[in-house]
Amino acid sequence: MTVDGKLIKVNKFLEKPAAGMPPSNYAIMGRYVLTQEIFDFLGEHQLGASGEIQLTDAIQKFNETQSLYAYEFDGRRFDVGEKFGFIETTIEFALKRPELRDQLLKLFEKKIQESYSYKK
């Protein structure tokens, strides 16, 4: 339920829903503004998805005691939780830095040339 423009009241937070079974078209982006009460829920040390203590699970328990809201983000999302996503993100941000851009482009050119010599 949208409350005000891009502010959305969240009914339920869910970590790693089953493939093809998302409860909505929204995703958690890993940026939170939470009060200190979240630590009470994290302190319960209950294992969630993948057998890990999940912040998302603690946020959902917190959500059951008071209303929590999400903000609909406009922009590009990077997944640094997997290897290639981390590399892509690093390259993307490095290319935006004037002091790194030219060096990085030269490195790419060199690596591309080297990769052609590997194929021979």
* Model pLDDT for residues 80-98, shown as the tens digit of each residue: 888 999 999 999 999 999 9
Considering only CA atoms, give the Rg of the chain. 20
35-80: pLDDT as tens digits: 888 888 888 766 666 677 778 888 888 889 988 888 888 888 888 8
Rounded to whole angstroms, the Cα distance separating 54 from 94 reads 31
In the chain, alpha helices (H):
38-42, 55-63, 83-95, 98-119
49 or 17: whose pLDDT is higher?
17
| Residue 56, SS3 per DSSP | helix
Picking from 76, 89, 81, 87, the residue whose alpha carbon sits closest to that of residue 111 is 87
> What pLDDT is stored for residue 68 in this prediction?
87
Confidence (pLDDT) at 55: 81
